[in-house]
Structure 1
Amino acid sequence: MNIQGVSTGNLTINQRLFVLIILFIGLPFFLLGSFWYQSSTEAIEQFAAGANKRIIEQTNVSLDSYISNLENSTYPFIHNPQIQQFLSTTELTPYAYFQLAKKVEDDLFAQMIYGRSDIIGISLVAENKRQITDYESAPGLLDMSEIRKRNRSFQEQLDQYNDFQIIGLSRVGNTPSLTVARKLYDNSSFLYKGLLIVDLNLKQIGAICSNDSLGGFDVWIMGSDGHMIYHPNPKQIGAEVEPGLLSRIQNRDSSFFRHQDAVSGTEKMVLHERSQITGWTVVADLPLNNLIGDLITQRNYSLAAASMLLIIALALVGGFSLSLTRPLSMLQKLMARVERGDFVLPTHMNRFRNNEMTAVFQSFYSMTGELKRLIREVQDSQLKERELMIKQKESELRSMQSHINPHFLYNSLEIINSYAIADDHMEISRMTRALAHMFRYNIGHAGSVVPLREEMTHVQYYLDLQSARFRKLRIDMDMNERDLDRVNAVRLTLQPIVENVFIHGYRGKKPSYLGISSRAEAGYYAIVIRDKGVGMTAQTLRQVRRILNSGKKPEGGLLRNDGDETTSGIGLLNVHQRLQLTFGDEYGLYLVESVPSEGTIFEIRLPYRTSEEGFHVPDHDD
């Protein structure tokens, strides 16, 4: 035998084993160990970043929810009569202005501030130079002239703001605050003439960023201008982010990277996630040693232990001999059975002259017994996890359902209807009845089969509401009344197609025409829905037909006439599949025709009712 040019003919078995271990185990172990050292470091960092990234994402979601809730709380100001009087140019006596200010503070400001500890103060400012302010909750003494001056500067920038604008950081007295504004318009001129300005302390944002699971590192918020909106260290609030860190954060909406702190010199891992709603970036800078120091130490210990084991193996290799062949062969056969999933092994165990092999067999039997136990535990754990998921989904569903009180909504709509009738507002009464019917109908079982008359009644109420919205809308309804009780339909399948006309058929323009007609065929009853809207391109037409024929939505989504992606077509597909699953493949939704700038025609094919329900196949001359 010759290895690497060295003759091993005179070497003992122990020596040969020693040489083989050095060349084929020791050297590869060293090379692979070096490679593994580098790759494991990267893997540990990625694992740690992934584990903490979910917390950052949840923080971002909570911040978006907080800002959205704040935005929703400003809606009552838009059409309020007192606000409209405040925005008007009508001259008011000092007493009338005092009464108006007091009513705004008592009715609107108090309603918004009630139960909220994060609002420092609220201001109303109009282009007619009127201002109403309420800063009673602000800590310390304030110079209100400075606040009024600041409010006027915001009013002068009114045209640069969105309807709801996060203006940014400011100071109310000595307290740092986040200032947001809602634009207010005059109902008579439809021009923006005022601002609702809300100053918020940073306690709520700080509470969102604080999390018991985020021990050992800081979570802070950076605005789109590169300044810190919030930081656990109050001295950092409003400060600029250092340029090197800022450029790396702004390069991508979400990522993680290593960064050397310019002040402390500490190496940190930075995770960040940008919000598409607020434009803020939630950043977590984690000291690398705190994050993965223990894992690195364990990795180093593992390498040291493996190296020590290798050295011990080399020192003890002389004690082994060819007598290991037989027990190793037996062990190999037993392991092959375990690999095939056979854990039923012989109960007796051979005794060998060397205690090491006896210990190996004992360990193997213990290991197989432990593996068998662990497999049972994993199976039991998976079953429990599935049961827990099902219970969790049921709990979430019950929680959602508990927030809806149909009787309360019905009674409220009936009260509104009664007041409308009493005041001779018949249009409002008609719309209220339509809305009540739609709500009552919508909460019914979505998959139940109903007579076509019920679906058409639901569509008619929906069109009543749309007609009130679009006064110039012409509706052409040509239905055979005798057939409405002779045809079956699935609840809530016609109205989504009619609604699709208003959402997509007249995208970018006001609806002008909607036609609904029926046609009796020998094997089905057809409902034809047509519009004179924007229509579809030939490519979009092919895509929609492919969706309805194949039952699969396209990966790229449907295209507008201008080529931009708009919708996946899932709504049309859902209606089509519900009809086919309920009545059979010969029924469903069909796209008959669509021409750009001329309109679209859809056809819904429904079955006639069975003999037990009053089977009827009308003649073609009906």
Structure 2
Amino acid sequence: MNIQGISIGNLTINQRLFVLIILFIGLPFFLLGSFWYQSSTEAIEQFAAGANKRIIEQTNVSLDSYISNLENSTYPFIHNPQIQQFLSTSQLTPYAYFQLATKVESDLFAQMIYGRSDIIGISLVADNKRQITDYESAPGLLDMSEIRKRNLSFQAQLDQFSDFQIIGLSRVGKTPALTVARKLYDNSSFLYKGLLIVDLNLKQIGAICSNDSLGGFDVWIMGRGGQVIYHPDSNLVGSTVEQGLFARIQNQNSSFFRHQDAASSTEKMVLHERSQITGWTVVADLPLNNLIGGLITQRNYSLAAAAMLMIIALALVGGFSLSLTRPLSMLQKLMARVERGDFVLPTKMNRFRNHEMTAVFQSFYSMTGELKRLIREVHDSRLKERELMIRQKESELRSMQSHINPHFLYNSLEIINSYAIADDHMDISRMTRALAHMFRYNIGHAGSVVPLREEMRHVQFYLDLQSARFRKLQIDIDVDEHDLDRVKAVRLTLQPIIENVFIHGYRGKKPRYLGISTRAEGHYFAVVIQDKGIGMNAEKRRHIRGILQTPENPEDELRSNEGEEPTSGIGLLNVHQRLQLTFGAEYGLHLVQSVPDEGTQFEVRLPYMTSEEAHHVPVNDD
């Protein structure tokens, strides 16, 4: 065998080993490593694109639903008698026009704005130059003359609009807004003579994008002409997408591609999905470093380790000759067993005249022992991590199973509330508002952390409904309002415990008392829930405390009590696990006491907010 004119037979054994290591170890390792890195990178990109594609599709569905609901809410304006009077060409006295404007604002505008925090303002404009505007919800001072001038320009383009038109971005004062319009026609002539113009803030669209994203990347919306409708970076709202990126997004052959961001000099994977209803394109930017950064690190470590092993091998074989054949053959066999996963090696180690080879064997045995220990530790840690993830997913699933999507019901409740107010049935209106709040509150993610005040407010609405059902129910709430803003809670944890009181605490009896009090301790904050129901016997108390105090397998404790009713303890365990998974093992649900025929007392232990968390407590606009 000749390599560039040099016969390998003329080389020393050390040189032969060096050449063989380079040709049959180094070169294949480099080629296979390059091929592995390239193929695995493409596979990870394909997987990431497929997994995150569902996020984009869900965002599109949510945006289409949002726009469709907005379009449906404008239908009542088409045939309304007041709107017809507004569109008519008959002359109105200033007082009659004032009365008409007041009636439209108090009836139609209020009905549309009620329950919606995303509407900045509403305008009615007709071709007879009449205008009715309501921008009381707009932040800051507005120059209404600019808004009226803009409305007249939209009225002039009436023939170019569809029945419901998304006009695009505009500004109401200093606030960016999404402007939509509904064409109105005169019933007598069937000609379009006016527009209903609605200006929306971008908070609801931002909430849709943020709720549907998994974090770590930006989800934004691009209009038909390349204008940025929404972006998490408010400075980019209203800007124009760079031409190269816009052209690639418009290409329908692929739903994702790589793109070099000129601003941040980072390479990103761009996923996009276009809506057939709005014509918008939902785009997600995924930094490639987040996808394959770990793979690059592993590759570098692998190459460094391989290079180190090659250097050690060359140093060892440099001082040896044919005497290395037998120990190397033995070592090769042992390594082959380890490669197959067989770590049960002979305990007797051969002694060689060459002390270095003896040291190699000692290092090999130490390495295999350390590998066995590390593999065992990694295996145990993966099992624990997988078990924790399974428990958390099961807890979230149980919580999600108790939720329903309230969008349709919430809209129906708004209509019921409007009829109740119109007919002066305030009790019905109050109950409807309480139920609507509960549905709206259920929209949020069940595992999100909220201030205790939000949980207590949700509980108060729930108790309003129960008070309407049980007229003789006495509710005793003794809480310090100041503490509610400095304590953290997990969404939808207090209400299931109180619901448990009505289901199990007063089973077979009408509820007559429910007490809620708070107590500030040094390391935790306690919410005490007490009833005067049927209580628990000793066996029942042991059962409940057992499932709340079993750290490893509380489900086994549930299954071990075959005599209990199927749902007994499941709701309490769900709340307890969610609190501990979120805040730690020192928090959660505790059974304080329970006496048969005298009642039960539970205690929920919650953590205090840090000063930074308390400073950033969100304001509830509900």
Report the CA distance shift for 1:120/1:37 in structure 2 as closer, same or farther (over 3 A): same
The residue number in structure 2 matching 1:126 is: 126
Change beyond 3 A, Cα 1:164–1:256: same
Q: TM-score, normalised by structure 2?
A: 0.53
Residue in structure 1 matched with residue 350 of structure 2 by the alignment: 352
Residue 326 of structure 1 pairs with residue 351 of structure 2: no
**Residue number in structure 1 paired with 2:314:** 314
What's the CA shift string for 1:309-328, capped at 9, x where partnerless?
Answer: 32332222346542233354
1:124: Cα distance to partner? 1.7
Q: Note if contact 1:352-1:358 (Cα within 8 Å) is conserved in structure 2.
A: no
1:122 Cα deviation from its structure 2 partner? 0.3
Name 2:526's counterpart in structure 1. Answer: none
Larger Rg: 1
Partner of 2:258: 257
In structure 1, what is the equivalent of residue 268 of structure 2? 269
In structure 2, what residue type is equivalent to 1:351? M
In the alignment, the residues of structure 2 paired with residue 298 and residue 377 of structure 1 have an alpha-carbon distance, to the nearest angstrom, of 20
Contact 2:121 2:136 in 1 (8 A): yes
Counterpart contact for 2:220–2:284, Cα < 8 Å: yes
Change in Cα spacing, 1:312 to 1:80, as seen in structure 2 (3 Å) is: farther
Match of 2:538 in 1: none
Q: Distance in 1 between matches of 2:38 and 2:387?
A: 38
SS of corresponding position for 2:137:
coil
Residue pair 1:266, 1:287 contacting (<8 A) in 2 also: no
- Please name the residue that 1:201 is paired with: 201
For 1:600, the equivalent position in structure 2 comes to none
After superposition, give the CA deviation of every residue in 1:247-290 in whole Å (9 maximum; x if it has no partner). 122113732222352xx583542514233132222345567678
The letter for the 2-side match of 1:352 is N
Question: Take 1:240 and 1:401, find their aligned partners in 2: how far apart are those partners?
Answer: 36
- Partners of 1:35 and 1:330 in 2: how far apart? 29
Answer whether contact 1:14 1:321 (CA < 8 A) is retained. Answer: no
Describe how 1:59-138 pairs up with structure 2 within 5 A. 59-88=59-88, 92-138=92-138
Tell me the distance in 2 between the aligned counterparts of 1:34 and 1:327. 29
Aligned to 2:281: 281
Structure 2 gaps of 5+ residues are 352-357, 424-622
Equivalent-residue separation in structure 1 for 2:174 and 2:59 (angstroms): 27
Q: How does 1:160-239 map to 2 (within 5 A)?
A: 160-185=160-185, 192-206=192-206, 208-209=208-209, 219-231=219-231, 236-239=236-239
Identity of aligned residues (%): 66
Aligned to 1:148: 148
Aligned amino acid, residue 361 of structure 2: M
Q: Write out per-residue CA displacement over residues 420-469 of structure 1, whole angstroms, 9 at most, x where no aligned residue.
A: xxxxxxxxxxxxxxxxxxxxxxxxxxxxxxxxxxxxxxxxxxxxxxxxxx
- Return the letter of the residue paired with 2:83: I
Shift of 1:33: 4.4
The corresponding residue for 1:399 is 403
Q: CA deviation at 1:197?
A: 0.9
What's the offset of the Cα at 1:225?
1.3
Take 1:204 and 1:254, find their aligned partners in 2: how far apart are those partners?
Answer: 25
- Paired with 1:207 and 1:404, the residues of 2 have a C-alpha distance of 18
Q: 1:326 to 1:242 in 2, by over 3 A?
A: closer
Structure 1's 370 and 268: CA in aligned 2 closer, same or farther, altered over 3 A?
closer
Q: Deviations over 1:41-64 (max 9, x none)?
A: 656666776676665555545544
Question: Structure 1: 5+ residue runs without aligned partners?
Answer: 420-622
Check 1:270–1:377 CA distance in 2 against 1; reply closer, same or farther (3 A cut). closer
Per-residue deviation, 1:102:
1.2
Q: Quick one: distance in 2 between partners of 1:163 and 1:189?
A: 17
What pairs up with 1:540-555 in 2 under 5 angstroms?
none
What CA deviation, in whole Å up to 9, does each residue of 1:553-572 have, x standing for no partner?
A: xxxxxxxxxxxxxxxxxxxx
Q: 1:201 to 1:322 in 2, by over 3 A?
A: same
Distance 1:274 1:329, change over 3 A: closer
Partners of 1:189 and 1:76 in 2: CA distance: 19
Conserved? CA contact 1:254–1:272, under 8 Å: yes
Q: CA deviation at 1:380?
A: 7.6
Helix, strand or coil for the counterpart of 2:403?
Answer: helix
| Paired residues of 1:186 and 1:192 also in contact (CA < 8 A) | yes
Q: 2:38 & 2:378 partners in 1: Cα distance?
A: 32
Q: Provide the rounded CA distance (Å) in 2 between the counterparts of 1:128 and 1:148.
A: 13
SS at match of 2:361: helix
- How far the C-alpha of 1:199 sits from its partner, in A, is 0.9
Which residue type is aligned with residue 19 of structure 2?
A: V
CA distance in 1, matches of 2:407, 2:219: 34
Looking at structure 2, the residues matched to 48 and 401 of structure 1 have their Cα atoms a distance apart, in angstroms, of: 28
Aligned with 1:138: secondary structure?
A: coil
Q: Residue type matched to 1:273 in 2?
A: H
Contact 1:180 1:197 in 2 (8 A): yes
Q: 1:374 to 1:300 in 2, by over 3 A?
A: closer
Structure-1 separation of matches of 2:260 and 2:405: 48
Per-residue Cα deviation, 1:110-158 (whole angstroms, up to 9, x for no partner) = 2333444432210122345432211222344434343233323323433
> Which residue of the partner structure matches residue 533 of structure 2?
none
What residue is the counterpart of 1:454 in the other structure?
none
* Equivalent in the alignment of 1:429: none
Matched letter for residue 269 of structure 1: K
Going from structure 1 to structure 2, the CA distance change for 1:386 and 1:29 (only over 3 Å counts) comes to: closer
Q: Match of 1:400, SS? A: coil
What is the letter of the counterpart of residue 254 of structure 1?
A: S
* 8 Å contact kept, 1:59–1:209: yes
Q: Which amino acid aligns with 2:121?
A: G
Distance 1:56 1:243 in 2: 22
Q: 1:360 to 1:78 in 2, by over 3 A?
A: farther
Specify whether residues 64 and 362 from structure 1 end up closer, same or farther in structure 2 by C-alpha distance, changes over 3 A only.
Answer: farther
RMSD: 4.5
The superposition leaves residues 314-360 of structure 1 with CA deviations (integer Å, 9 ceiling, x where unpaired) of: 22234654223335435545765x48xxx9x57x7332332433443
